[in-house]
């Protein structure tokens, strides 16, 4: 049913639209039977034969939205009535050989975008927090774009407000003692709940995404933040359990064997057990033959594809040492990802507009988990050592192609063909695309990428407290990481403030009536992810999105070397 006051947005012949507007001041055409027949003859529009008679006969209450694809000899009509007319929506595809149901591609062209605001409200809570304002200043925090070459000290001083005791951090960006205590106490409480809940978790799920590797990764993070040896030992306990149950079916960090092997190598390295660490690295490198196999149907995205394997290689070189994985191995994986993108772009005849194009399950996804944003982000990592020529000629125009798909709100579609502004998750939408944009700003040093990233941040601030839960993939914690990353880049306290407010929301874990995820204690869907985010709030300058971002120290060193 079309709500009053909302209009259908359709692709219509311009002459038809102009004629409709001349007939009716509000831009819609209310048609009686005779008027309909005139338009049918002129524009070749046929009505859906099963439509209720009164669906188009009420001249003051009926709305017609029609689209004509004459070159394809396909005609479709979408009609929705309101008021005393019954709600009615029909889509019909016509071909020369007779009538057939409209295909998926056609229906996307004719999608009516209605009720979007109501749907947004259903997906996210209204943000109850006031946005950041510097102490003693009625204006919002500075949004002056920093240059990539600005020193951290200069950027920090330009964006620092005076001390305000109501803020959760000090003027130098350190978390206040009061907020630190609240977070530390909550982490302890949630860890107890998580460990109790994991007693009934799937013993065979070894993935980082929803399984035991994610829990091991959490304890590595807690050791990094607190330096407590018990956390590292706890991680080792999980690693030993995981490595006995690998199945070899998948090769990525998040959903395959590369994750358990990479985390195992890092944990053994931190425990000074180099022989076990090297054995894990060797097994991980053996997976390369699957990744590079010419007959493989492996995708390129992050969760199940080549980019997910590439992350595992970069993770090892970040956490253990730069030559843990030889550059020749990384180069081969990078080249396979690039060649795959070039091939598919050629198939889709988009070589000029988007030289690197990818699909997953026959959809050209945009987001970080399954889409081009995650793939481009990995290829732009300094540790991937992609040639500057490839970055400029292939990656940059592809990123710009995605940028032009941005909604007016500043959000991004889940796939290139999707015209619905719905999802604000790391996996689909602005919270994933923002990382691609920030990395593009670092690599290409053009302000447009940072400007778009800031727009993403505003969308996430407005619509990022998700009803789906508190997790990382499609929850509040994952959205909060976008603020921490933007704070790293700009040193603008506004983004640290926003991250702290999303953390404050997570401190009331379970109190908002969010949906309970399928794996409620896991890293990417559940409680472990929220704990990881809260622990990163304690040391925001060292924070990083797990299984996606590389640790800040290594990234900064590589970026200095490449600049």
506 is in an annotated binding site: no
Report in angstroms the alpha-carbon separations of 418 from 192, 213, 414, 433, 532: 42, 33, 6, 15, 32
Q: How far apart are the first and last CA of the chain?
A: 56
Q: Please give the helix or strand (H or E) that residue 79 lies within, else none.
A: strand 74-81
3-state secondary structure of 55: helix
What is the rounded distance in angstroms from the CA atom of residue 310 to the CA atom of residue 336? 11
Calculate the alpha carbon distances from 212 to 116, 134, 146, 199, 348 in Å.
Answer: 38, 42, 40, 12, 39
Q: What is the dihedral of CA 109, 110, 115, 116, to 10 degrees?
A: 10
**Is 156 annotated for ligand binding?**
no
139: tokens are 């204006």
Query: CB burial class (10 A; 0-12, 13-18, 19+) of residue 432?
Result: buried
Separation of alpha carbons 214 and 208, rounded Å: 4
Which residues, in sequence order, are bridge partners of residue 66? Answer: 77
Q: Is 473 annotated as a binding residue?
A: yes
- The C-alpha atoms of residue 513 and residue 1 are separated, in whole angstroms, by 28
Q: Under DSSP, is residue 195 helix (H, G, I), strand (E, B) or coil? A: helix
Beta-carbon contacts of 192 under 8 Å, excluding residues fewer than 6 positions away, are: none
* Beta-ladder partners of 67: 76
Q: Rounded to an integer, what distance in angstroms lies between the CA atom of residue 198 and that of residue 29?
A: 59
Q: DSSP readout, 220-242?
A: HHHHHHH--HHHHHHHHHHHHHH
Count CA atoms closer than 13 A to 65's CA, side-chain side.
22
For residues 86 and 52, is the Cβ–Cβ distance under 8 A?
A: yes
CA atoms within 13 A on the CB side of 8: 25
The stretches of 227-305 forming alpha helices (DSSP H) are 229-243, 258-270, 274-286, 288-292
In SS3 terms, 134-175 reads as CCCCCCCCCCCCCCCCCCHHHHHHHHCCCCCCCCCECCCCCE
Annotated binding site: 427, 473-474
Annotated binding site for Zn(2+): 427, 473-474
């Amino acid at each position: 049913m079309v709500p009053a006051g909302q209009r259908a947005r359709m692709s219509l012949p311009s002459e038809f639209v102009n004629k409709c507007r001349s007939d009716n001041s509000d831009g819609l055409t209310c048609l009686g039977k005779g008027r309909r027949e005139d338009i049918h003859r002129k524009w070749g529009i046929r009505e859906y034969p099963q439509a209720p008679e009164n669906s188009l006969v009420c001249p003051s209450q009926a709305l017609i939205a029609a689209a004509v694809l004459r070159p394809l000899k396909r005609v479709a009509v979408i009609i929705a009535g309101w008021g005393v007319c019954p709600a009615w929506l029909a889509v019909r595809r016509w071909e020369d050989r007779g009538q057939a149901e409209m295909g998926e591609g056609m229906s996307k062209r004719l999608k009516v975008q209605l009720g979007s605001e109501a749907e947004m409200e259903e997906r996210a809570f209204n943000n109850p927090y006031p946005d950041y304002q510097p102490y003693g200043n009625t204006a919002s925090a500075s949004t002056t774009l920093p240059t990539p070459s600005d020193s951290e000290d200069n950027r920090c001083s330009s964006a620092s407000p005076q001390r305000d005791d109501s803020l959760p951090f000090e003027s130098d960006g350190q978390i206040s003692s009061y907020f630190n205590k609240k977070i530390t106490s909550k982490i302890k409480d949630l860890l107890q709940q998580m460990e109790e809940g994991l007693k009934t978790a799937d013993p065979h799920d070894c993935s980082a995404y929803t399984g035991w590797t994610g829990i091991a990764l959490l304890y590595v993070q807690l050791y990094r933040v607190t330096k407590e040896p018990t956390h590292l030992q706890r991680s080792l306990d999980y690693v030993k359990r995981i490595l006995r149950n690998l199945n070899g079916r998948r090769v990525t960090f998040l959903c395959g064997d590369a994750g358990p092997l990479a985390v195992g190598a890092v944990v053994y390295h931190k425990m000074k057990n180099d022989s076990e660490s090297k054995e894990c690295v060797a097994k991980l490198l053996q997976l390369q033959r699957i990744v590079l196999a010419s007959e493989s149907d492996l995708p390129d995205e992050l969760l199940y594809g080549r980019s997910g394997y590439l992350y595992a290689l970069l993770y090892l070189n970040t956490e253990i040492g730069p030559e843990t994985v030889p550059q020749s191995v990384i180069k081969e994986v990078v080249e396979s990802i690039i060649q795959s993108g070039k091939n598919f772009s050629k198939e889709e005849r988009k070589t000029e507009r988007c030289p690197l194009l990818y699909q997953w399950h026959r959809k050209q996804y945009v987001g970080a988990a399954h889409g081009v944003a995650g793939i481009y982000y990995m290829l732009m990592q300094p540790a991937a050592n992609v040639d500057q020529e490839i970055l400029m000629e292939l990656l940059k125009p592809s990123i710009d192609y995605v940028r032009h798909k941005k909604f007016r709100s500043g959000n991004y579609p889940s796939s290139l063909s999707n015209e619905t502004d719905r999802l604000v998750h790391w996996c689909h939408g602005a919270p994933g695309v923002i990382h691609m944009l920030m990395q593009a700003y670092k690599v290409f040093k053009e302000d447009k990428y940072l400007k778009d990233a800031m727009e993403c941040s505003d969308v996430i601030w407005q619509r990022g407290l998700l009803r789906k839960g508190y997790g990382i993939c499609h929850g509040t914690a994952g959205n909060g990481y976008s603020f921490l990353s933007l704070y790293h880049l700009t040193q603008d306290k506004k983004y640290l403030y926003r991250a702290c407010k999303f953390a404050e929301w997570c401190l009331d874990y379970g109190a908002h009536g969010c949906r309970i995820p399928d794996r409620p204690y896991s890293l990417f869907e559940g409680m472990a992810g929220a704990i990881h985010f809260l622990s990163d709030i304690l040391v925001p300058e060292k924070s990083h999105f797990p299984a996606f971002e590389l640790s800040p120290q290594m990234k900064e060193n590589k970026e200095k070397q490449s600049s």
